[in-house]
A and B are shown apart, each in its own frame.
Chain A
Amino acid sequence: MQSLLRASLVLALAAPVAARADLASDSRSDLTPDSTTSSRADLDALRAEIKALRGAYEARLQALEQRLQAAEATAAMRFPAAASTAVVPAATAPSVAPAPVSPAASSAGGAGAFNPAISLILSGLYTRTSRDPADYAIRGFQLPAGAEAGPGTRGFSLAESELGFAASIDPWLRGAASIAMHPDDTLSVEEAYIQTTSLGNGLALKAGRFFSGVGYLNPQHAHTWDFVDNPLAYQALLGTQYDDDGVQLTWLAPTDRYLELGVELGRGRSFPGSDTSRNGAGMAALTAHSGGDIGSSQSWRAGLSLLRAKASDQALSAAGAAGDTLTSRFTGTTRVWVADAVWKWAPEGNATRTSLKLQAEYLRSTRNGSLVVDGANSDGGGDYRAVQSGWYLQGVYQFMPRWRVGLRTERLNSGTPHYGLEAAMFADGGARPRKQSLMVDFNPSEFSRLRLQVARDQSREGSADNQLFLQYQMSLGAHGAHGY
């Protein structure tokens, strides 16, 4: 192949010379038509010239080939060092053996080398419930229209599958996006943010859409949850998971004890806030988390967060006293305090065989403003104040490699809203919804998980809802490292 290439190149280069020679001999023969001997001599001379040319080109090609090979060799030598930004002084350089180039490294060249890391989470669910999920409501709590509360749909369904992208943007920024694919053929942008990597002094700034850093579970993606669903307290008080557009500044203290403080400003686009056309921020949050190790086997993290969101004309629905659905509109502000704590244990810190994780959160929401109840006898509104709270406590125990079992118990307290004389319209002032869940999961590898969960949900009027879930969760492609 190489010799063919060389021959054709020589031919191509020689052709114009030969053509010129023909032309020259033609013109010369025109001038001296009978001097064939001299033209033959000319031809011989030309042949010699072409031969010399060919020889010269061949030599030059060989030189070029050698240079190319040398360049390839040095590139191969340099590649591993370049990847690690090794600045090795000349004195020590000879002792550092050049590592062989791995196939992955060499195939990472070209335009694809800078593609973001792509991860795909595939998740599917089989749900069986004793009560129809269509009329799901949490007793005593007003949820926004279209809230993602309850066990979802019965039967087989695509659970939240998710596509994630992440990469460094430049030496100062990184970016990440995750797109959720829902069972009803819709897509939603869960997160799409940029984040600084080098502000220094422990500061990091994030901008875009992201899960708020309040609490322990809120910033976590669904595929990292230890149960199929989020706790009731999150469903009732934070709209399952508080996701907003805005900015977040975090500061990590330069101490040996972990201490991170954060402040967030956002649009307030989701419950307990509502989207409006205001210029200012509709949401503000403060977070504080601390944590550490206790010996070599235990570690912990605890925190306190406050989220404040504004809502105007927020459509809500709740179960009314007469068993009907009561719709209303709320305008005002909501404050949600979240206290969270997690404690993990593994013998000598080696969680491959056995480990235990205990986790609890307490949420307390205060809504202050005015409420208009639709379709009531009196169509009027009035001052409204409600203090509601909820907590959960869960433990997940890995009893042998690949197998885990978990138990979760939760309670809500709806409180009694202050709403003048009309408070009685809301069923169950002081309702105490509760739920118990038990799960077992099997993890064939760190990229796959199968889970069975049974739950007894007493958050609705009447009989308890017995739920059964069978779920798979798989991680394809780049596997982003999980947080604590």
Chain B
Amino acid sequence: MIDRHTLVALLAASLLLLALPSHAALRVLACEPEWGALAQELGGNLVEVSVATSALQDPHQIQARPSLIARARNADLVVCTGAELEIGWLPVLLQQSANARVQAGQPGNFAAADFVPKLDVPGRLDRSQGDVHAAGNPHIQTDPRNIGLVAAALAARLQQIDPAHAGEYARRHADFAQRWQQAIARWTALAAPLKGAAVVSQHKAFVYLYDWLGLKEVAVLEPKPGVEPSASHLQAVLATLKGAPARMVLYAAYQDPRPAEWLSKNGGMAAVKLAFTVGGTEAAKDLFGLFDDMLARLLAVGEKG
């Protein structure tokens, strides 16, 4: 029979063990895979990155699951898109995490969209317009130039939070920035034949990609942002495309392919699945692979037309 004092001591000891920080690396919780990949590029083995969502999940619609609360509680830095993309789950996640370091306004709370010029900023805020975001379109990661801007800001933030390794973060960022600039130059040259191509998108998820490559969005399958495409709306889109045909219809890996495939079949244009973020397709293993793969898929159908 264990006496009461022993039991209490054992319990206290086990609680103390639980309470001891078990990691030396900077713990980063990224809301989306692209920021997880970027944090890994910039932090290397100085950071321990965990990603809250996968490329197959709709980043608007995530639940503040217990596993995410536990990870937010232990994070030193939370890296998200911001611009209200995660409005449905991040506020409650941060609140339940009881982690002062990562609350909004703290250095441990990083919102990527704060560092890039945003497109599609609504002139009118009303939910009759669908799931609109007051700060503008939040899907900023489809333009590699935005990734470059965010990388600079994130590197600065890592140096601020972990000043002991500031030099290492600066060195890693300089290295990444150089490789990234070279890659952008290569991608831009590669994508030149796509300039001016008319495209249809399923969700307004690629405005930054279009802005970069000079693609023309002639129709959107969702009648309003975040509203599922209906049969009647698809018919209407098909009718408008009769007059001004598009070269392809694009959808993100996490989206239901059926509306795009329907339009592809009935409108006689290619349906192109884009990774949208790291992990969305087999080849999109990291940030470089993401754009290599997206461009390869666009060029595969874009060059024919």
Contacts and interface: CB of A to CB of B under 8 A. Distances in A.
> A and B, one complex?
yes
Interface stretch (B32-40, B150-158, B241-249, B269-277): B150-158
Contacts of A96: 115, 149, 152-153
Contacts of A95: 148-149, 152
B65 A348 contact: no
A446 B73 contact: no
Given A88-B156, A99-B118, A199-B100, A482 B92 contact: yes
A344 B63 contact: yes
B116 A85 contact: no
Interface residues of A, number: 68
Contacts of B105: 85, 171
B264 interface: no
B66 A299 contact: yes
Given A97-B117, A252-B69, A348 B54 contact: yes
Interface in B216-259: 226-228, 254, 256
Given A254-B73, A445-B227, A92 B155 contact: yes
A299 B65 contact: yes
B98 A483 contact: no
Contacts of B95: 174, 195, 197
Given A197-B100, A257-B70, A92 B156 contact: yes
A81 interface: yes
A69 interface: no
B98 A252 contact: yes
Contacts of B122: 103-104
Nearest to A346: B57
Interface in A328-370: 344, 348-353
B188 interface: no
Contacts of A483: 64, 92, 96
A55 interface: no
A120 B129 CA distance: 19
A445 B226 contact: yes
A111 interface: no
A100 B134 CA distance: 13
B56 A348 contact: yes
B163 to A, nearest CB: 11
B182 interface: no
A293 B135 contact: no
30 contacts: A81-B114, A84-B115, A86-B114, A86-B156, A89-B159, A95-B152, A96-B152, A99-B118, A100-B117, A100-B121, A102-B121, A104-B135, A197-B95, A199-B98, A199-B100, A204-B98, A250-B98, A252-B70, A253-B18, A253-B70, A258-B66, A260-B69, A292-B66, A349-B54, A349-B57, A350-B61, A352-B256, A445-B227, A446-B226, A482-B88
Given A85-B105, A92-B156, A102-B118, 5 more contacts: A254-B18, A290-B66, A291-B67, A349-B53, A445-B227
Interface of A: 80-81, 83-89, 92, 95-100, 102-105, 171, 174, 195, 197-204, 250, 252-260, 289-293, 296, 299-301, 344, 348-353, 401-402, 445-447, 479-484
